[in-house]
A and B are shown apart, each in its own frame.
Chain A
Amino acid sequence: MTSVAEAAVGRVERRLLDGELGLDAHLARHGRLPLLDGSQIIGMARDSGLTGRGGAGFPVWRKLSAVAEAGDGSAVVVANGAEGEPASGKDRALLAYQPNLVLDGLQLVAAATKARAAHLYAPKAALAPLRALLEARRVAGLDRMSVTLQAAPDAFVSGEESAVVSALNGRGAVPADKRIRVIQAGVGGSPTLVQNVETLAHLALIARYGAGWFLSAGTADEPGTFLATISGAVRRPGVVEAGYGVPLGELIAAVGGATMRLQAVLIGGYHGGWVPADPALPVSRQALEPYGASPGAGVLVALPAGACGLGETARIAGYLADQVAGQCGPCINGLPRMAATLADLAARRPRAGLAAEAERLARLVSGRGACHHPDGTARLVLSAMRMFQADVAAHLNGRCLATEGYR
């Protein structure tokens, strides 16, 4: 086994996405899951420092122990593969190439929480091939808990955890108020654990190779690898895997390099933040925090020097405003207004106080919805106003630095 000293810290490497397709190949490579009891599973989740890969980065062991305690035998566990984010493809890739790791992980969290039911929630297209696989696993005696498949509608907010619970409860996949958390009362009123499919796949590897192995990738504070979906001005847009702390340049190189000189990269997806296209910048929570960004669910979009960052942000803000799940006043009203303000700025329709108005609206909607959709949209807009400050000034004077070649 690799020792920590010689570990490939923060390097591109394949752990989750390695290996041949199919159940036989999976069993030949990784073997069956070792038999572990609940406290062993929670213990190894804690020792590995595994955090959620669905965006928020919450420590897995804490949620596991909270649900195990609250559930007392009635808990429900859900693998979340909704991946409503248009720039993300890693969960679909994982479900297509290594679904057995996800299903193993789901069994582990079911055992850890002494769950009464397990669900896999993903877009319809991803579910179809899983039916036969679940049957094969049942025949092979791999799954103690049977797994129900639930189709996730194609919408940005459909993977938000209370929306997931709402869908499983037979209502629309829209978020709910958070005064009562799903870990207290979720599916059928039972304490519910919602975990991203990639998180579960990591847990399946940790169960076999140990917390120490997991810790040999990534940084001391942010261990392990993550799946990144990289798009924009790169040669081979797609999904790669790397340890946290990987330099931005190495990630871009892993998808064939940039097709043009880059000016900025959006990290963390449509709810993320813009950072400079500095090849040395480590992709970790710690290193991205000064930019108001975080690796989130590993979504990166590379912006070429000749494109307008304000235009691109306005396009995304418009999309996000359209994805508002029509429930919360400040979000329903605020996001379209914020997107329209940004569109005016992007299209160089200046008026007094335009830039300040975009920032005011971003602050006004933050924290004022049942889910974090307004917060995430505001984060994107505020980061664009910082990152593209010179462009904002130029646009207010009717010029564009990017498309008119001033850069």
Chain B
Amino acid sequence: MKLHVDWTACDGRGVCTELLEEMLVEDDWGFPVARDGQRSPAVPPPLEGAAKQAVDRCPMLALKLIAR
């Protein structure tokens, strides 16, 4: 599973960077950046639960889990 951000919806308030700090950091403006530098970073199995929670809590419905 990979994490996908719909940048047209994301408002950069950083709910996901708090819930998924193992994978995401905030950039200069508060928008999430993958620590591994990937466009759609792969979610390691131990973090799948946290990733699902971040997706559910994203206020803009901008965060998605994708298969590819």
Query: Interface residues, chain A, CB within 8 Å of chain B?
Result: 175-177, 179, 327-331, 333-334, 337, 363-364, 367-370
Whether the Cβ atoms of B31 and A177 lie closer than 8 Å is no
Interface centre among A363, A368, A370 (most CB of B within 10 A): A368
Question: Which chain B residues border A179 with CB–CB below 8 Å?
Answer: 4, 6, 64, 66
Residues of B close to A368: CB separation below 8 A: 5, 7, 31, 33, 39
Which of B9, B11, B27, B64 is in CB contact (< 8 Å) with A330? B27
Query: Scoring B residues 20 to 40 as 1 if CB is less than 8 Å from chain A, else 0, what string do you get?
Result: 000000011111010001110
Given contacts A364-B27, A368-B33, contact A329 B11 (CB under 8 A): yes
Structural contact, A329 and B64, CB atoms closer than 8 A: no
Q: Is the CB of A369 within 8 A of B29?
A: no
Specify the main secondary structure of chain B where it touches its partner: loop
**Size of B's binding interface in residues, CB under 8 A:** 20
B58 within 8 A of A: no
**In the complex, what residues of B have CB within 8 A of residue A329's CB?**
7, 10-12, 29-31
Name A's interface SS.
Answer: loop
- B7, B28, B66: the one contacting A369 at CB < 8 Å is B7
Q: How far is the CA of A183 from the CA of B66 in the complex (A)?
A: 18
Decide if B33 touches A364 in the complex (CB within 8 Å): yes
**A334: B residues at CB distance < 8 A:** 27-29
A177-B8 in contact given A330-B27, A333-B29 (Cβ < 8 Å): yes
Cβ–Cβ < 8 Å partners of A370 in chain B? 6-8
Shortest CB–CB separation between residue B2 and chain A, in angstroms? 11
Alpha-carbon gap, A177 to B8, bound state (A): 7
B7 & A327 in contact (Cβ 8 Å cutoff): yes
- B18 CB, nearest partner CB in chain A, Å: 17
**Chain B residue at minimum C-beta to C-beta distance from A366:** B39
Closest residue of chain A to B68 (Cβ to Cβ) is: A179
Residue from A175, A176, A367 having most chain B Cβ neighbours under 10 A:
A367
CB distance from A169 to the nearest CB of B (A): 15
Contacts of B9 in A (CB 8 A): 177
What are 16 pairs between A and B in contact, CB < 8 Å?
A: A179-B6, A179-B64, A179-B66, A327-B8, A328-B7, A328-B8, A329-B7, A329-B12, A329-B31, A330-B27, A363-B37, A364-B28, A364-B33, A368-B7, A368-B39, A370-B6
